[in-house]
C-alpha cells in the first residue's frame, strides 16, 4: 500500500513544492475510487446539504449528518487523509465544539474543519490539547453566506486582504495544521500561502496555493444547482470517472489547474 497521508506528509509536500489534491466524498464507493486514484485529502463537506440534500445553502446540515457520511468515507480510505466539516453552529462555544468534534473523530475523521478567523483561537487551542487536529477555512466561508449577502469573492480590497493574512497567521499560531482558502483573488492566496507554514488548499483561490480542492459533484458536472466559475467538468472532458479523477490530479500536480479562467483577480 502507498504511504498513508498524514499531517506530516502534507507539511512535507508543501515544503517540497508538491501540490496537494483534495476532493469531497460522501460515501464509501467514491471515497474508495478517489483513494485508489491517489487523491491526498478527502473532505466530507457540509456541501452535502446542497449536492445531496438539495438545499440552497449548507446551514441545515447537522453534526449527525457529517458523522454518518464520515463513517462511510473513512471505512473506504486506505491512503487518503480524511477531513470532516464541522457544520453551522456546531462550534459556537469551545464546550459545544469539543463534544461535536469528538463525534466526528470517533466516526473516522483524521481532522475537523471549522470556518472563521481569530475568534476561534481559544477553540483551536482547546481542540489541539484534546488531540483533535484542525483545518481552518478563510475567505468565502459558506456558513456565513447571509452575512456576506451571497456567495461572493472575499479579500478584494486592501484592508480586507491584509486582515485575512493576519487571520491566517492567528489561526496558525493557535494550532491549525491545514488551511482552506475559498473564493479569494489569486494574488492574496499566494501571499497567504507564503505567510504561513501550514499547507494552504485553495478552491477558487488561484494556482499559487499548496493544493486544490473541488466538490466532486462539480468536477463531474452533476451538481443540481450550477457550475461555479472556479470548477471544471473533468467528466465531460474524459468520459470516464476514473480518468476524470486522474486528470484532475495530473493538472493540479503540474499547475495546469486552476487556470486564469477558474480564478479571480
Return binding residues for 3-methyl-2-oxobutanoate: 46-47, 85, 113
182 is catalytic: yes
Q: Which three cell numbers stand for residue 8?
A: 506530516
Distance CA 4, CA 179 (A): 20
Which residues participate in the annotated binding site? 46-47, 85, 113, 115
Which residues participate in the annotated binding site for Mg(2+)? 46, 85, 115
* CA distances to 16, 39, 80, 112, 133 from 4, in Å: 18, 11, 7, 18, 16
**C-alpha of 40 from chain center:** 12
* CA distances to 87, 128, 171 from 94, in Å: 14, 12, 15
Q: Which three cell numbers stand for residue 208?
A: 499559487
From the candidates 36, 182, 251, 260, which is the catalytic residue? 182
Q: Which three cell numbers stand for residue 247?
A: 486528470
Torsion of CA 81, 11, 104, 99, to 10 degrees: 170
Report the catalytic residues. Answer: 182
Amino acid at each position: 500500500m502507498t504511504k498513508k497521508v498524514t499531517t506530516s506528509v502534507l507539511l512535507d509536500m508543501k515544503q517540497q513544492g508538491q501540490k496537494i489534491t483534495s476532493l469531497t466524498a460522501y460515501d464509501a464507493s467514491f471515497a474508495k475510487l478517489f483513494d485508489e486514484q491517489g487523491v491526498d485529502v478527502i473532505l466530507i463537506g457540509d456541501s452535502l446539504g446542497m449536492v445531496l440534500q438539495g438545499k440552497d445553502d449548507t446551514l441545515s446540515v447537522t453534526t449527525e449528518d457529517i458523522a454518518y457520511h464520515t463513517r462511510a468515507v473513512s471505512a473506504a480510505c486506505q491512503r487518503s487523509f480524511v477531513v470532516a466539516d464541522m457544520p453551522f453552529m456546531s462550534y459556537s462555544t469551545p464546550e459545544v465544539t469539543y463534544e461535536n468534534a469528538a463525534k466526528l473523530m470517533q466516526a473516522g475523521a483524521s481532522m475537523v474543519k471549522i470556518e472563521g478567523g481569530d475568534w476561534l483561537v481559544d477553540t483551536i487551542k482547546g481542540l489541539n490539547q484534546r488531540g483533535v487536529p484542525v483545518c481552518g477555512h478563510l475567505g468565502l466561508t459558506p456558513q456565513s453566506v447571509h452575512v456576506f449577502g451571497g456567495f461572493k469573492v472575499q479579500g478584494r480590497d486592501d484592508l480586507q486582504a491584509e486582515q485575512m493574512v493576519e487571520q491566517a497567521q492567528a489561526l496558525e499560531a493557535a494550532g491549525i495544521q491545514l488551511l482552506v482558502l475559498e473564493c479569494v483573488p489569486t494574488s492574496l492566496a499566494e501571499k497567504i500561502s507564503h505567510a504561513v507554514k501550514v499547507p494552504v488548499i485553495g478552491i477558487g483561490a488561484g494556482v499559487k496555493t499548496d493544493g486544490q480542492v473541488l466538490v466532486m459533484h462539480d468536477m463531474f458536472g452533476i451538481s443540481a444547482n450550477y457550475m461555479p466559475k472556479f470548477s471544471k467538468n473533468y467528466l465531460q472532458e474524459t468520459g470516464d470517472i476514473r480518468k476524470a479523477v486522474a486528470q484532475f490530479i495530473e493538472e493540479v500536480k503540474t499547475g495546469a489547474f486552476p487556470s486564469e479562467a477558474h480564478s479571480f483577480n
